[in-house]
Structure 1
């Protein structure tokens, strides 16, 4: 089981990390076009004692970045996941950081082990349970478990400088967008109609100005820098009814970041990929979630002398989170514009980006006035 008690502090130093077992490196590629067969080949190379006839392979199709296969050995009842990176996704994701994240979190019991690396992906342990549906994010019991688990994550310390990555990442992604859409000869899957649609939907100069405007506004907030998941959508939350726990999967975007961003981004995901922002949690739902989070955070710091959480503390966090909620739209909007240039996954990234930017503009003045 992956469930842990709430701990007073969870720290992994560089020395401790260097002592972790390194994943086995496999000199092979898992093709998106030959996904199941290549995934099986990777698993058999990694676990030579396994037999092909004992394996069940299933493609998980919820993701919009990578290709994912679950492989279960019927004899041992061990399940692993084989993730083949999305095309050119290294432009968006620091794959070395991802490996560090998994190794640290695994050592702390917050995720399964990393078994192996291949040329374009990873093989790692499967988290038992059911993927949470977007409609369950507002369920009081599930939301309490998520709040408690995220408070636990936010106490993790990983190697490297403890600085927020939000605006560093946004500037990097904006640079990738400019490189592609300002130069049609750049590598990518874009064509003339795609370029025309891009220039119809987006004004890069205006978006950069909004990013800088928001940065100034958010830097006035004293949001703590914590180890953040940064992609806590419903599909990345697993509920295990056996021990009544939630665990988080997919750690490729995890980094140090602002607490307000990690929580605000989670609240944005109540809308799902359809971006139905009528589902954004109302104040009462948020207040209950935030109170659960603060109580778990306080218990983790001092379980014997945890003072009650006050209304003022909840209200302060409510304001922080809702202002950083705006940043999640800029973040995933830029991400989607980069994806639109090269991803081979069937998803309307440009349309998704436009919906994120529209919600940003719709709520900006209201939320910054809190």
Structure 2
């Protein structure tokens, strides 16, 4: 099934270089849409992403938009690109993802979901947050991806933590790393965390795993929320996907005073649990999911903290990965005892 899906996606023998994005994107568009007059194409780089380089290509006469994404430098260390393609093909068939037009040697070209990208504040908008809860419940209930249906969460973290270098090539980055991190203790912490969270037996479902504000789209005409960017999608714990979204209410600046209160979380969780059922959930089920989610918020901090430690050495994206790792682990340790005690 894996090979069949990949072979069905048009493949271009092209590279989109990070220092020549527009010309690279133009070559991809010309190959995929030979009927288009290239003079009718306009290009805009989206700079919010912190893993890849992204160009929006708009065909003037039809208004069709195609996103050409060049993978981040050495991002294959972090991301399973074959899994990502499978995710997109299957999600597209379910109407949960735009079409995948083709792949090239270091990236993908795919459709654009109409609407406005969320701002951080939109995540806590009373109406929009319920739209996200509803859509995530649909994802968790409807999506089945071929392959093993066990959680990849801790397998992924263990894989990433092995990629953290002993020392960093940039002195400033190394200085911050040496001041804040002891890898022996971090490995021990991961073992403790995994043992505690696996014992909760949170249901394993297909998860987005990266529901930050930039991956949420609000379509006003449909009054609905949509998810984009599926490269981290995999089977994982239901509670992790929800917890990760709640952590992202803090934005890249990690303003954790915006982490949702218990009352707000319970409102969100009720909406999530109601989807596909004729009656609202009882309070005991809401309370149980609340406890699971906040415990898995710790795994979210660990996941992205280790991710940032790896990216700090590999990536050429303009983002302060090492300070971000410090912020994520600071919040992990600040909330650890409180959340473990729930």
Q: Does TM-score exceed 0.5, indicating one fold?
A: yes
* Runs (5+) with no aligned partner, structure 1: 1-13, 185-189, 300-305
Aligned to 2:75: 89
Question: Which segments of structure 1 move beyond 2 Å, counting only runs of 4 or more?
Answer: 17-21, 190-197
- Which among 217, 223, 227 is matched to residue 206 of structure 2? 227
Per-residue CA deviations over 1:127-168 (Å, capped at 9, x if unaligned) read 100001011101111011000000011021110111001110
Q: Which residue is 1:181 aligned to?
A: 166
Q: Structure 1 stretch 23-32 or stretch 266-275: which is displaced more?
A: 23-32
Residue 294 (structure 1) aligned with residue 280 (structure 2): no
Q: Which residue of 1 aligns with 2:320?
A: 348
Higher RCO (CA < 8 A, seq sep 6+): 1
The Cα shift of 1:18 comes to 4.0
Which residue of the partner structure matches residue 52 of structure 1? 38
Shift of 1:195: 2.7
The CA deviation at 1:21 is 8.0
Long gaps (5+) in structure 2: none
CA contact (8 A) 1:98 1:253 kept: yes
Cα deviation for residue 20 of structure 1 reads 8.9
Distance in 1, matches of 2:6 and 2:319, equals 38
Q: Which of residues 309, 321, 328 is equivalent to 2:281?
A: 309
**How far off is 1:219 after superposition?**
1.4
> 1:282 and 1:19 mapped to 2: Cα distance?
42
Alpha carbons of structure 1 residues 108 and 137: separation in structure 2 relative to 1, 3 Å: same
TM-score with structure 2 setting the length:
0.97
Count of residue pairs the alignment pairs up: 341
Tell me how far apart the structure 2 counterparts of residues 21 and 139 of structure 1 sit (CA, whole Å).
42
CA contact (8 A) 1:54 1:75 kept: yes
The 8 Å contact of residues 181 and 195 in structure 1, kept in 2 or not, is answered as: no
Contact 2:58 2:66 in 1 (8 A): yes
Aligned to 2:218: 239
What is the CA distance between 1:196 and its match in structure 2?
A: 3.5
CA RMSD of aligned residues (A): 1.5
* Corresponding residue for residue 277 of structure 1: 256
Find the residue that maps to 2:260 and give its secondary structure: coil
The Cα of 1:307 is off from its aligned counterpart by 3.6
Structure 2 equivalent of residue 110 of structure 1? 96
Aligned to 2:146: 159
Instruction: Check conservation: 2:246, 2:259, Cα contact below 8 A.
Output: yes
Q: 1:286·1:318 contact (CA, 8 Å) conserved in 2?
A: yes
CA distance 1:277–1:53, shift in 2 (3 Å) = same
Give the C-alpha shift of residue 191 in structure 1.
3.1
Whole-Å Cα distance in 1 between the matches of residues 35 and 279 of structure 2?
A: 53
Q: Does 1:62 find its partner at 2:41?
A: no
The TM-score, its normalising length taken from structure 1, stands at 0.90
The one-character-per-residue Cα deviations of 1:13-39 (angstroms, maximum 9, x if unpaired) are: x49x94798221110100110011111
1:4: which partner in 2? Answer: none
Q: 8 Å contact 1:232–1:269 — kept in the other structure?
A: yes
How far did 1:45 drift? 1.1
Partner of 2:338: 366
Following superposition, the deviation at residue 197 of structure 1 comes to 3.0
3-state SS, counterpart of residue 19 of structure 2: coil
Partner residue of 2:120 out of 110, 126, 134: 134
Q: Structure 2 CA distance, aligned partners of 1:19 and 1:235?
A: 28
Moved more, 19-28 or 264-273: 19-28
**How far apart are the structure 2 equivalents of 1:54 and 1:175?**
47
